[in-house]
Chains A and B, each alone.
Chain A
Amino acid sequence: METSIIIETIIKAIVVLAVFSALAGFTTYIERKVLAYMQRRLGPSNVGPYGLLQLVADGIKLFTKEDFIPQNAARPVFMIAPIITAATAFIAMSAVPFFPEFELFGYVVRPIIADINVGVLFVLGVASVGLYGPLLAGMSSANKWSLLGGARTAIQLLSYEVVSGLALLAPLMLVGSLSLIDINNYQAGGFTSWLVWSQPLAFILFVIAGFAETNRTPFDLLEHEAEIVAGYATEYSGLRWGMFFIGEYANLFTVCFLVSLIFLGGFNDLWFIPGGLAIVLKVMFLIFFFLWTRASWPHIRPDQLMWLCWKILMPLAVINILITGFVMMF
């Protein structure tokens, strides 16, 4: 019994790692295509059918590039920073249930690596540890642009973390559990029982915080190339830079899965759509939404981010919690 669980967990971990590494690469292709179409360009189209092999070409380029470490950089910190980003992004996934249970060769598979009773807390905690990657990278690079990127990481972390935590508090009060599977089962009553209908404000706040957490466009302060070259990643090249990239896209998937699970009904069956397909569709739409905003919206200044998070979003989140509490009490 014990060994079977260990083997199962290892297999699951390998599958998650492989699938999401591949998906992270594929999302870069999708992102380039969607952005291109929104700017009426073609995007990658020459390498392979529809430019699909561009991924492989970029991968080969990244793998064969020189792994460069600047002379004055703090070597061990510089080398370990990308690993923090990539590793925490995948560790956070271990508590996320991706699909409903299904049977494989007569064996019931639960597509979650570790069903812990504080799932949300674990995912959010590990994901914010992931911001140590950019922070340490920026501070160890011995480069002014990197340092600025690192400083921006710190203020971003301080700003959005409060909002995402407080925004999640209200739906968690309704559900009464921190386990993502319990949250999912709470919304099993179909379309109308989705938490987004009872907690619309929390949904909006959490999505905004998710944009900040994944460094997507309205809040992509860390590596905004028009201002600070490439931010914390200025001095990185080759595989280490690729690890930052994979970590960022894996984080994007984690946030999309979190939003679908907590607010959009998770992997419950939707009308005639089976649950496994429903959550894939939701995540796909959310990913598209993230790319869509990147094509549409300008990004904001660091002080505007802090102002927005502390003066607008945090009070709104607190008010939301208060209202939820009073409604639950009376």
Chain B
Amino acid sequence: MGLEEFKDRNIGVQNYITVQDDNYPKTNGEVFKQIVKRSLKGELFTGLKITFNMMREALFKGKMHTVQYPAEKLSIGPRYRAVHKLLALLESGENRCIGCGLCEKICISNCIKMDTKIDENSRKEVLEYTINMGRCIFCGYCAEVCPELAIVHGGRYENASEQRAHFALKEDLLTPLDKLHLQKEYEGFGAVSPDADEKIQKTPLQY
């Protein structure tokens, strides 16, 4: 296919191929001939062969499609925007948030609320930090605007709960002290997923 055909913007039916228009059987004899041909060609057995091979591959070659969900989970990409996390400083375990209030300001659905005060060292201290998950549209502006990489989007997508207020308080979002070594640095919005190499496939134009 040449480049000119791609540049041609006159899209119409001129490139359509009418399938099976001319070889439709017309007389009863031709219908009968088609039936005989199809019966003796063993097309039905081709179908049987395909399903049998599917079963063989699924059973013996480990090509089962099923992911047994609560027991095993597919990895999600780092760009995924699920429930927020508040990251902590690795050394002290203190909250990274400096209470600048940028996320509260930029939030377009007005769901972030924070309480701050100036402590005895005249630094800003964050007392309370909540995200109203019923209002959040997961746009990601808060994570984008944060100068300290303190608020990021996490991978927690199982938000079934009795109340939507759960996960939304500071204690729920902040990395707990004992889990500090498990905290992963946020790779940023442009990051590729860890298994990106395996996911690469040919684009349709290549075949």
A interface residues, Cβ below 8 angstroms from B:
34, 37-42, 45, 292-293, 295-297, 312
Contact = CB atoms under 8 A, between A and B. Distances in A.
Interface stretch (B58-66, B78-86, B111-119, B168-176): B58-66
A292 B52 contact: yes
16 contacts: A34-B55, A37-B54, A37-B55, A37-B58, A38-B51, A38-B52, A38-B58, A40-B54, A40-B57, A40-B64, A42-B68, A292-B52, A293-B48, A296-B47, A296-B50, A297-B44
Nearest to B28: A311
A40 B52 contact: no
A42 B59 CA distance: 9
Interface in B69-113: none
Nearest to A39: B54
A41 B51 contact: no
B35 interface: yes
Contacts of A39: 54
Contacts of A45: 68
Given A40-B54, A40-B65, A312-B35, A296 B59 contact: no
B48 A292 contact: yes
Contacts of A37: 54-55, 58-59
Contacts of B59: 37
A163 to B, nearest CB: 15
Nearest to B44: A297
Interface in B21-38: 35
A292 B45 CA distance: 11
B47 to A, nearest CB: 4
B65 A296 contact: no
Give chain A's interface secondary structure class: helix
Contact of B64 (A42, A292, A295): A42
A42 B57 CA distance: 13
Give chain B's interface secondary structure class: helix
A45 B67 CA distance: 12
A34 B48 CA distance: 13
Task: Count chain B CB atoms within 10 A of each CB in A45, A295, A297, A312 and give the residue with the most.
Answer: A295
Interface of B: 35, 44, 47-48, 50-52, 54-55, 57-59, 63-66, 68
Nearest to A46: B68
Given A37-B59, A296-B48, 5 more contacts: A37-B58, A38-B54, A39-B54, A45-B68, A296-B51
Counting from the closest, the 5 A-B pairs by CB-CB distance are A296-B47, A40-B58, A37-B55, A296-B51, A38-B51
Contacts of B35: 312
B121 to A, nearest CB: 56
Contacts of A38: 51-52, 54-55, 58
Contact of A41 (B50, B52, B57, B66): B66
Contacts of B57: 40
Given A34-B55, A39-B54, A297 B47 contact: yes
A210 to B, nearest CB: 16
A128 to B, nearest CB: 26
B51 A295 contact: yes
B66 A42 contact: yes
B51 A292 contact: yes
A59 B50 CA distance: 33
Nearest to B45: A296
A40 B65 CA distance: 6
A293 B49 CA distance: 10
A40 B54 CA distance: 7
A41 B64 contact: yes
A37 B57 CA distance: 9
A297 B52 CA distance: 12
A292 B44 CA distance: 12
B154 to A, nearest CB: 29
Nearest to B56: A37
A285 to B, nearest CB: 13
Contacts of B64: 40-42
A204 to B, nearest CB: 10
Contacts of A41: 64-66
A211 to B, nearest CB: 12
Task: Count chain A CB atoms within 10 A of each CB in B50, B51, B55, B64 and give the residue with the most.
Answer: B51
